């Protein structure tokens, strides 16, 4: 059984004038211990998806239809108390800004101890030694000293380590990390990623990494989902996606990287920009920006098809695959 | 021969720490002594920015990059050192004298949302500096300039009556750039202008910056932590650590033959696209805070090659054969 299966998920924002679709027919699975990444431009719906998995999508957003299953438990039909038990304990979230999770007026020690004692009945002293052990585990130097400090006394990198320690406390099955290193500088970014990676590996924790940094993704995730305008447009093993991107949007993202052109040359930008929810184009949502768009792309939505081990939603890829298949048949 | 536009020498900037009165006392030599600590954000920086070049500044968080930018722009007074614009000294100007340079030097910030006034339309944002610096222009001439400027940054002139929040991140950053360009500067300081943007939008903004540089022989001081951008865009790169420049080199040289131990660690830490690169060189210890002036090399605490001399004497910048300069004893002594 898959650890997590999201099927045909639709998430809407209920606005005054009209209903806006933020996620459209999103489906994917996550196995125990697997690491996947969700990539796409700003506004693609990555965070909405991350929040929806733990049913944390705030008003005016709501899950319109579809199913989110943690093993055999359906999360979309759980009440607040049941969900509370799942969050943290089985699925933990890490955000870009650690201050979203840390309480500025409590020492980090007290926050960790409280988190432990919320879930298990043990003495303060025992909880304290578990907390210090976890701080040590995330490579915080002199954890006894840090225990009594407030979040603002720590650097950004150290705060993110504390968050990872707090996530570890409860031995979750899944960590959802939404841009966990975007706010940090490169050397520290690399350290935090390695830490996250090691922790997931060592403890068999599955990871959903949300990022727009393809370099980061290629270091961490085994599988990658590419999102555009609230939909998944391509899904496959990360190396396949990076080396043989199939969808024109994925190709555009990779081509825009500075290392894809010679130094000093103009970069390959994708023309246009991500549409807002209210201005979602008809047919394939990428068509106004796609260099290969045809009349059909403006009118119909492409279905997912397999190209090797990746699956892609694009008419162009579909046509090319069909053509090659015909050639193969003729040749035989 | 490149012509220097900005020359910076011996630049220092210290900020007082906000320690309480009680916290300022130390017990030393058998008595209480009051000592006020300060953060040395810049610690003797020497740099030249040439006309038409892009000098990229890289380094860990807190190493003084933004402070350098602010001091050059005259937004913060330096504690010591000099800044020259062509042959005029500009670090001690009063507000009136600075006016000329306000026009020639412009700054673009990381967060395009915070740096644009949310209550001003794009038209208002751009017309203010244009009419201020060109009082002779008529309203219709100002309008013409605004339209042309917006077109040149890829924003349709018809959207000039919209407010910042009605634009995407990339569009907002292009509007900030349009505002900086509106007064036809020679020099633009850009402090992490791309870090709030995703790759496709980064490409738009970088392309625009390269186009404008070509059109007007602009010089950039470009602060970023994205080394792929540096490799693509920089003419030369300055690597900073704890308020000092530890390596300065032409871009190709820096990436193909990094010399300073910190530069090597920094370059190995970039998450590259392919998955089979070497493990990053791990730096041990947190980034130190530059409280009080360090004795010896600023990198000593985290450097695998530090010896006694590194703890006592600060290494000076030395020219290398390949047009780079490095401040490191180990390199000077031939140990590295
Ligand atoms: N509370 C909300 N009300 C209305 N629209 C929203 C709300 N939250 C998000 N959206 C919209 O949903 C879409 C997806 O947003 P989301 O935050 O998931 O993007 P993202 O892919 O995480 O982008 P980023 O990389 O910038 O974090 C966007 O168009 C956004 O404007
Ligand atoms: N106004 C100030 N008062 C006191 N200390 C300051 C002030 N501005 C900066 N500092 C300190 O000076 C040092 C250098 O800061 P600066 O902002 O220049 O770093 P940076 O290299 O731009 O870092 P980042 O990559 O995080 O932007 C830091 O230790 C910082 O805390
Ligand atoms: S379906 Fe058409 S518009 Fe969409 S990505 Fe493919 S070719 Fe482009
Ligand atoms: S001077 Fe010494 S401490 Fe500094 S970088 Fe060189 S070897 Fe390391
Ligand atoms: Mg997001
Ligand atoms: Mg800064």
DSSP structure string for B304-330? TT--HHHHHSPPPPEE-TTS-EE--HH
Can you tell me the distance from the alpha carbon of B140 to that of A172, in angstroms, rounded to the nearest whole number? 64
B64 CB within 6 A, ligand 2: yes
A210 has pLDDT over 90: yes
- What confidence category does residue A185 fall into, taking pLDDT thresholds of 50, 70 and 90? low
Contact yes or no for A185 and B206 at CB 8 A: no
Residue in A108, A106, A104, A128 with CA at minimum distance from that of residue A117: A128
Which pLDDT does position A204 carry in this prediction? 93
Q: Give B9's strand partners.
A: B82
Taking only the tens place, the pLDDT of each residue in A219-276 is 899 999 999 999 999 999 999 999 999 999 999 999 999 888 888 899 998 988 888 8
Region B272-284 average pLDDT: 56
What's the sign of the alpha-carbon dihedral A55, A160, A181, A216? negative
Ligand 2 centroid to Cα of residue A265, in Å, is: 33
The dihedral over CA atoms of A299, A304, A310, A314, expressed in degrees to the nearest 10, equals -10
The answer to whether B269 contacts chain A (CB < 8 Å) is yes
Can you tell me the distance from the alpha carbon of A11 to that of B95, in angstroms, rounded to the nearest whole number? 54
Chains A, B: CB contacts within 8 A come to: 123
B39 CB within 6 A, ligand 2: yes
**Distances in whole angstroms, Cα of residue B146 to Cα of each of B156, B188, B215, B216:** 11, 19, 18, 18
Q: Are B221 and B187 in contact (CB under 8 A)?
A: yes
Taking only the tens place, the pLDDT of each residue in A13-40 is 998 888 999 999 999 999 999 999 999 9
Taking only the tens place, the pLDDT of each residue in B13-70 is 998 866 566 666 666 677 777 666 778 899 999 999 999 999 999 988 778 999 999 9
Domain positions in chain A: 98-171
Contact yes or no for B60 and A256 at CB 8 A: no
Which pLDDT does position B22 carry in this prediction? 64
b/e code A232-266 from CB counts within 10 Å (16+ = b): bbbbbebbbbbeebbbbbbbbbbbbbbbbeeeeee
Ligand 1 centroid to Cα of residue B245, in Å, is: 40
Q: Are strands A19-30 and A4-14 parallel, antiparallel or unpaired?
A: antiparallel
Contact yes or no for A188 and B199 at CB 8 A: no
Contact yes or no for B198 and A189 at CB 8 A: no
| Nearest alpha carbon, ligand 1 atom 29 | A43
By three-state DSSP, how is residue B178 classified? helix
Q: Which residue of A has its CA nearest to B227?
A: A186
By three-state DSSP, how is residue B105 classified? strand
Q: Are strands B25-28 and B31-34 parallel, antiparallel or unpaired?
A: antiparallel
* Tokens 């032409």, located at residue: B250
Taking only the tens place, the pLDDT of each residue in B115-135 is 788 899 999 999 998 998 888
The answer to whether A268 contacts chain B (CB < 8 Å) is yes
Q: Are B240 and B43 in contact (CB under 8 A)?
A: no
CATH number for the domain running over B6-16+39-114+184-333:
3.40.50.300
Can you tell me the distance from the alpha carbon of A126 to that of A129, in angstroms, rounded to the nearest whole number? 5
Q: Is the whole-model pTM more than 0.95?
A: no
Distance from the A255 Cα atom to the nearest Cα atom in chain B, whole angstroms: 9
Q: Which residues of B touch A189 (CB under 8 A)?
A: 269, 271
Taking only the tens place, the pLDDT of each residue in A116-156 is 888 788 999 999 999 999 898 887 878 888 899 998 888 77
- Tell me the longest C-alpha to C-alpha distance in chain A: 76
Distance from the A237 Cα atom to the nearest Cα atom in chain B, whole angstroms: 12
Can you tell me the distance from the alpha carbon of B265 to that of B243, in angstroms, rounded to the nearest whole number? 18
Rg (CA), chain B: 22
Q: What are phi and psi of A329, to 5 degrees?
A: -65, -45
Q: Which residues of A touch B211 (CB under 8 A)?
A: 266
- What confidence category does residue B281 fall into, taking pLDDT thresholds of 50, 70 and 90? low
Taking only the tens place, the pLDDT of each residue in A36-94 is 999 998 889 999 999 999 888 878 899 999 999 999 999 999 998 898 888 878 999 99
């Amino acid at each position: 059984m898959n650890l997590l299966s999201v099927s045909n998920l639709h998430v809407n924002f209920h606005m005054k004038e009209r209903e806006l679709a933020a996620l459209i027919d999103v489906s994917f699975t996550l196995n125990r211990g697997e690491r996947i990444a969700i990539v796409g431009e700003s506004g693609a719906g990555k965070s909405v998806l991350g929040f929806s998995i733990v049913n944390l999508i705030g008003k005016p957003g709501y899950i319109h239809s579809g199913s989110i299953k943690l093993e055999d438990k359906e999360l979309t039909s759980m009440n607040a108390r049941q969900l509370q038990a799942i969050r943290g304990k089985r699925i933990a979230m890490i955000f870009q800004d650690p201050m979203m999770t840390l309480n500025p007026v409590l020492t980090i020690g007290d926050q960790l101890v409280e988190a432990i004692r919320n879930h298990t009945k043990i003495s303060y002293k025992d909880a304290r030694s578990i907390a210090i052990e976890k701080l040590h585990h995330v490579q915080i130097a002199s954890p006894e000293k840090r225990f009594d400090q407030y979040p603002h006394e720590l650097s950004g990198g150290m705060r993110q380590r504390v968050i990872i320690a707090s996530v570890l406390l409860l031995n979750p099955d899944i960590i959802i990390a939404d841009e966990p290193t975007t706010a940090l500088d490169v050397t520290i970014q690399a350290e935090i990623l390695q830490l996250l990676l090691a922790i997931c590996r060592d403890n068999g924790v599955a990871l959903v990494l949300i990022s727009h940094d393809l370099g980061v993704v290629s270091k961490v995730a085994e599988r990658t989902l590419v999102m555009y305008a609230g939909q998944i447009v391509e899904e496959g093993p990360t190396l396949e996606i990076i080396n043989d991107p199939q969808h024109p949007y994925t190709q555009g993202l990779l081509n825009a990287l500075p290392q894809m052109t010679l130094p000093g040359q103009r970069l390959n930008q994708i023309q246009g920009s991500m549409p807002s929810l209210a201005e979602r184009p008809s047919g394939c949502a990428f068509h106004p920006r796609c260099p290969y768009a045809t009349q059909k792309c403006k009118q119909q939505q492409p279905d997912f098809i397999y190209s090797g081990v990746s699956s892609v939603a694009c008419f162009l890829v579909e046509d090319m695959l069909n053509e090659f298949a015909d050639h193969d048949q003729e040749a035989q | 021969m490149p012509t220097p536009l900005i020359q910076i020498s011996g630049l220092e900037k210290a900020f007082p720490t906000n320690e309480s009165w009680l916290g300022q006392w130390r017990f030393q030599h058998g008595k209480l002594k009051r000592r006020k600590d300060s953060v040395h954000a810049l610690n003797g920086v020497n740099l030249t920015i040439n006309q038409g070049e892009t000098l990229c500044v890289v380094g860990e968080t807190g190493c003084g990059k933004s402070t350098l930018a602010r001091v050059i722009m005259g937004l913060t007074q330096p504690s010591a050192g000099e800044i020259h614009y062509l042959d005029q000294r500009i670090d001690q100007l009063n507000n009136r004298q600075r006016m000329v340079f306000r026009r020639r030097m412009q700054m673009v910030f990381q967060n395009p949302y915070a740096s644009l006034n949310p209550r001003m339309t794009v038209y208002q944002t751009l017309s203010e500096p244009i009419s201020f610096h060109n009082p002779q222009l008529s309203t219709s001439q100002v309008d013409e300039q605004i339209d042309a400027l917006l077109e040149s940054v890829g924003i349709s002139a018809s959207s000039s009556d919209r407010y910042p929040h009605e634009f995407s991140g990339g569009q907002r950053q292009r509007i900030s750039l349009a505002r900086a360009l509106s007064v036809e500067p020679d020099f633009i300081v850009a402090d992490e202008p791309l870090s709030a943007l995703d790759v496709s939008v980064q490409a738009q903004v970088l392309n625009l910056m390269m186009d404008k540089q070509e059109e007007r022989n602009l010089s950039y001081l470009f602060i970023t932590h994205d080394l792929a951008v540096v490799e693509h865009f920089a003419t030369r790169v300055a690597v900073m650590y704890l308020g000092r420049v530890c390596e300065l080199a032409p871009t190709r040289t820096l990436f193909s033959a990094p010399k300073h131990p910190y530069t090597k660690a920094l370059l190995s830490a970039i998450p590259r696209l392919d998955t089979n690169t070497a493990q990053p060189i791990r730096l041990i210890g947190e980034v130190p805070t530059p409280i009080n002036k360090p004795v010896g090399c600023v990198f000593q605490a985290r450097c695998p090659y530090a010896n006694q001399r590194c703890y006592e004497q600060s290494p000076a910048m030395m020219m290398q054969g390949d047009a780079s300069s490095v401040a490191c004893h180990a390199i000077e002594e031939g140990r590295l």
